[in-house]
Chains A and B, each alone.
Chain A
């Protein structure tokens, strides 16, 4: 079964600091991986996705992620955090069954002034 594990349920960074949110995947075949963001009382918005075209994927709002097969990782980074980045972030993998998404438990990002 394809699944993802997000390390750290809460991450706190200072405004302007590097953001690093960790995601490891478990898949027997090359996976399709996604990062979504959820702001309070809203649905999920896609930040970026990996579809094997390139290992370094650039997304919206200055986020990017690097697919590392040797480490089975797909960590999300942003060079400089903004207050508006405070939200819940979910890593997900496309499952075999109907291509639905298997989500991690999420990481809550707090940005302090």
Chain B
């Protein structure tokens, strides 16, 4: 079975631009979460979606937004990019929304903001 897939793999943007990152969960998984991993740090939670509804949001500015589609894939949008947005963006999917469910991570999208 295919794992979590993310696109693109790498992305280079300039300050002020907007970016859209995409994620396809494992087949049958209904929950998708987004994390930001700055170099040398642990992943930080951004959003969680379940059945197309936002179920959790981390401490990120309104420049960050996301959505989940009927096929459970998801997009993360970041507007007005800052240098500090440079990071690895990880998508994770899980079968259901439960605290004990394993979250399966994709390989990530490496965003560089110049």
Contacts and interface: CB of A to CB of B under 8 A. Distances in A.
B70 interface: no
Interface in B35-55: 35, 40-45, 48, 50, 55
A43 B90 contact: yes
Contact of A98 (B42, B44, B97, B104): B97
A46 interface: yes
Contact of B106 (A34, A43, A51): A43
Given A43-B107, A44-B90, A44-B105, A97 B43 contact: no
B41 A105 contact: yes
Nearest to B54: A98
A52 B69 CA distance: 34
B103 interface: yes
B66 to A, nearest CB: 12
A32 B43 CA distance: 17
Given A43-B4, A90-B43, A99 B98 contact: yes
A102 interface: yes
Contacts of B58: 97, 100
Nearest to A99: B99
Interface in A48-104: 49, 51, 90, 92, 94-95, 97-104
A106 B41 CA distance: 7
Contacts of B4: 43
B55 A98 contact: yes
Interface of A: 32, 34, 36, 41-46, 49, 51, 90, 92, 94-95, 97-106
19 contacts: A32-B99, A34-B102, A36-B105, A41-B107, A46-B104, A51-B100, A90-B42, A92-B42, A95-B56, A97-B58, A98-B50, A99-B99, A99-B101, A100-B33, A100-B48, A100-B56, A101-B45, A106-B40, A106-B42
